A and B are shown apart, each in its own frame.
Chain A
């Protein structure tokens, strides 16, 4: 217990953050689900707008953009920062849609146990038979920051998935 408390003090917080206490979290994480809606503006031009998924038409086949923004409240540089996100149930990952400036993006096809670059993911389809993993096989996505996250540093990562 003493060791945990010592760690917490070192990290600059007294309560390990949970959902709902994000304001005081050491690293603040916020997730948005959005859909792209095409509208026509006053000039008659088509505009692509992002709308919160909860307020838009979302039915099977529609694409949702999941964006997670992060910002550090840690008083020292945070190292080895890795954000993970399961592909939500009922959704299928859209190939090559994961983005994140300054991150190394890897995927898991085993429920988040292991992560690799897409080309290294192999699915076993039968005795001695394998095939390269497809986007639909991905269960989790991981973004690893290539540099330490400085105090007050922020950024965002995102991916797209379609409703099955």
Chain B
């Protein structure tokens, strides 16, 4: 009977200890939340003269408070230089980064773009090698707030283990940039308190811990910068400074296209080759790629014939109006398509004098020098 009571007493004490130790914030990958109090409870049971005595406990004691371990990771989501065309801006010329809170307290991050002077830094993407040689005309920093990107210079608050996506957008890449021009940008994130105040100066100190709303959670605890610099000589990022940096880069890719138009030998009504009313002439218009590193897609060829000419119907096999020929220099593949009036790629067509012929090259991409898209159609001299 006595023993039973003792065990109940011990159980009750253990239960009290457990409740006192409960924290509203659970342990996360970033570690036990800052401001969590941890105590210890020791108990002893014994007997005297073979009689079990009441258990004794220290209660929760020797309590200490977990401090703030400040750590973050900045990385780029880009796996290769972001290719941009001269004149590109906004979302068409965006470098993407991620900022992750590896610490155990909610933090705010001040963001800045690090612009490198010509020749001062090289490609962050192995094995692609290039040296920074230009800057965008201007740039802006955007943060994904969860409901779209917002133009801002800070991540207002980020809880432990959370990641925010940030973009540096060129505004714009100058039209004068040449093929293979290369611009490196670093995203620098500095940890600050959610009330806007600075963290400790130096690698550690004593300070307050704040929640997402900027209210104090606990005061006078240890704040330790635990971020380890992994990029060595990078001057904008040091060991245990609460800041981190990652680089990405723009690679300018231009494309040079050449357009040529030629006419075939006239075929007159008398079996000859005189350019006289009633004679038929075949026109060939070719768009070919001859320089640059970019891919030209969505090529549309438009030609308004002279008022003395009228396009000829049913000039090609299968009663079609226009013949389109694409050539892929990489695979040396020639594809011929006969387009009939009404076909989606034959965007404009009429047999009236002075009509406009407009043909889309469809999904064909002019991605190598020598690639071309050409159209053929016939006209009759009025």
Interface residues, chain A, with chain B CB atoms under 8 Å away: 3-4, 7, 10-11, 16-20, 22, 25-27, 29-33, 52-54, 56-61, 64, 66, 68, 70, 74, 76-86, 88-91, 112, 149, 163-164
Contact = CB atoms under 8 A, between A and B. Distances in A.
B30 A85 contact: no
Contacts of B36: 90
A163 B43 contact: no
3 closest A-B pairs (Cβ-Cβ)? Answer: A60-B31, A19-B59, A53-B64
Interface string B263-298: 000000000000000000000000000000000000
A7 B23 contact: no
B14 interface: yes
Contact of A7 (B53, B57, B204, B222): B53
Contacts of A52: 62, 64
Interface stretch (B44-52, B81-89, B147-155, B230-238): B44-52
Chain B interface size, under 10 / 10 to 19 / 20 to 34 / 35 or more:
35 or more
Contacts of A58: 38, 64-67, 222
Nearest to B50: A79
Contact of A10 (B51, B62, B63): B51
A162 to B, nearest CB: 10
Given A90-B23, A163-B32, A31 B40 contact: yes
Of A11, A60, A80, A81, most B-chain CB atoms within 10 Å: A60
Given A59-B68, A163-B66, A19 B61 contact: yes
B188 to A, nearest CB: 24
A163 B47 CA distance: 35
Nearest to A77: B48
Nearest to B43: A84
Given A10-B49, A70-B44, A86 B14 contact: yes
Contacts of A82: 44-46
B169 interface: no
Contacts of B1: 3
Contacts of B222: 56-59
Given A68-B42, A88-B39, A90-B36, A11 B23 contact: no
A74 B30 CA distance: 47
14 contacts: A19-B59, A29-B58, A31-B40, A31-B42, A33-B63, A56-B222, A74-B48, A78-B47, A81-B46, A83-B44, A84-B45, A88-B38, A88-B39, A90-B38
Interface in B183-205: 204
A47 B121 CA distance: 44
Given A59-B222, A86-B14, A54 B65 contact: yes
Contacts of B67: 57-59
A32 B62 contact: yes
A33 B44 contact: no
A68 B2 contact: no
A104 B22 CA distance: 30
B18 interface: yes
B259 interface: no
A27 B51 contact: no
Contacts of B5: 4
A60 B104 contact: yes
Contacts of B63: 33, 54
A22 B43 CA distance: 12
Nearest to A17: B56
B62 A31 contact: yes
Given A53-B62, A149-B46, A59 B31 contact: yes
B27 interface: yes
A146 B57 CA distance: 20
Given A79-B48, A80-B47, A112-B14, A33 B53 contact: no
Given A22-B58, A90-B38, A29 B48 contact: no
A60 B32 contact: yes
A33 B64 contact: yes
A9 to B, nearest CB: 11
Given A60-B32, A60-B69, A79-B50, 8 more contacts: A7-B2, A29-B56, A33-B40, A54-B62, A58-B64, A64-B64, A68-B58, A88-B40
A88 B49 CA distance: 33
B200 to A, nearest CB: 11
B242 interface: no
B369 interface: no
Given A54-B64, A85-B40, A19 B47 contact: no
B17 interface: yes
B257 interface: no
Contacts of B53: 7, 11, 26, 78
Contact of A79 (B2, B32, B47): B47
Given A31-B58, A59-B69, A84 B42 contact: yes
Interface in B235-249: none
Contacts of B57: 18-19, 29
Contacts of B43: 29, 83-85
A76 B42 contact: no
